[in-house]
Amino acid sequence: MDLLSMVGLATKRRSDYISQAKDLASKYKTQPNLEEQMAKQSKLLVAGLRDKLMRWDEYERSLTDKTLTSALAAVILGIGDDKVDQKIEKAWPIIVGDMLPPLTQFLAETKEYIDNGTLRLGDQTVDFADLDGDGYDDGNDDHYHLVGAVPGADDLEADLADGNNPATSGTSRAKNLLARGKSWLGTLNRVVRFIANPTYSFFNLGDYMVKQDQGYKEMRRVAYEDKRVCVDCKEYDSMGWQPIGTLPMPGKGCRCFDHCRCHIEYR
């Protein structure tokens, strides 16, 4: 499905998505619980496609539905009880604009890999039951920086300055297949990045809307200081207090993408 068709269909079903999102938010109560459950559903979804338990059109529709409803549910959890419907209307175009263009591309790539045999339906090489809730091998986080874009894809000069050389990073065949979703594990990891990981950023978006309405004037983005923090998040952290609305939400404007765990403070 092309982007225009996907946006048109999503617009027609907006009220259904919002209703389903409210049910999700009510069921899971907190953003971490929502993210955990969406990660588990990622395994079921990809396994269903791989094991030929669902047709391609069913998979495509289900992934789109879960991408939009999980993002909306996260916003609702961030909003709490403060004018939920009004704020959801403001959040809707942001969610559609952020999620549907890359989702359309990802779905097209997955379909291509299935059609040309790169991804083989019925392949039981990877047992998803051996993976933990977030789609990674238990006790193994080596894939953290390999899912999605290869190093240097967004800001080559900054990556080189930060010591990440795309010419020498992630060059093994297995890592490259994983990074581009050319294996079932890579596909699973990328699905997690659409329906589970983004809930943190969208939760923060809902909270931001509330703080803005409550009259807060300043915000600061505080980085999670560990070995995985990117140079962009360090830069936002160093900026300190800024006028509200001038700093991006966690996961935006940084090479951590949906793995970002910065948090926002207001005053």
Give 36-53 pLDDT, tens digit per residue: 999 999 999 999 999 999
If you count them, how many residues does the chain have? Answer: 267
Stated as kind and residue range, the H or E segment containing 217 is none
CB 187 within 8 A of CB 51: no
* pLDDT at residue 130, rounded to an integer: 65
More confident residue, 143 or 9: 9
Number of other residues whose CB lies within 10 A of the CB of residue 129: 7
b/e burial code for range 78-89 (CB count within 10 A of at least 16 → b): bbeeeebeebbe
48 CB burial (10 A radius; 0-12, 13-18, 19+): middle
CB 223 within 8 A of CB 97: no
**Distance between CA atoms of 197 and 29, rounded to whole angstroms?**
16
Lowest mean pLDDT segment, chosen from 74-78, 175-179, 197-201, 233-237: 175-179
CA-based end-to-end distance of the chain: 44
The answer, yes or no, to whether residue 78 has pLDDT greater than 90, is yes
Lowest mean pLDDT segment, chosen from 88-97, 134-143, 158-167, 224-233: 134-143
- What mean pLDDT comes out for the span 180-186? 83
CA atoms within 13 A on the CB side of 178: 18
* pLDDT at residue 182, rounded to an integer: 83
Look up the pTM and report it.
0.83
Give the pairing type, strands 242-243 and 218-222: antiparallel
Q: Which residue has the tokens 């999700």?
A: 24
Confidence of residue 227 (pLDDT cuts 50, 70, 90): confident
| Digit-coded pLDDT (tens) for 200-217 | 999 999 999 999 999 999
The answer, yes or no, to whether residue 146 has pLDDT greater than 60, is no
* pLDDT at residue 180, rounded to an integer: 62
Q: What's the one-letter identity of residue 52?
A: K
**Distance between CA atoms of 231 and 225, rounded to whole angstroms?**
11
- What mean pLDDT comes out for the span 216-226? 91
Helices (H) and strands (E) in the chain, counts: 10, 3
- Please give the structure tokens belonging to residue 225: 């200081």
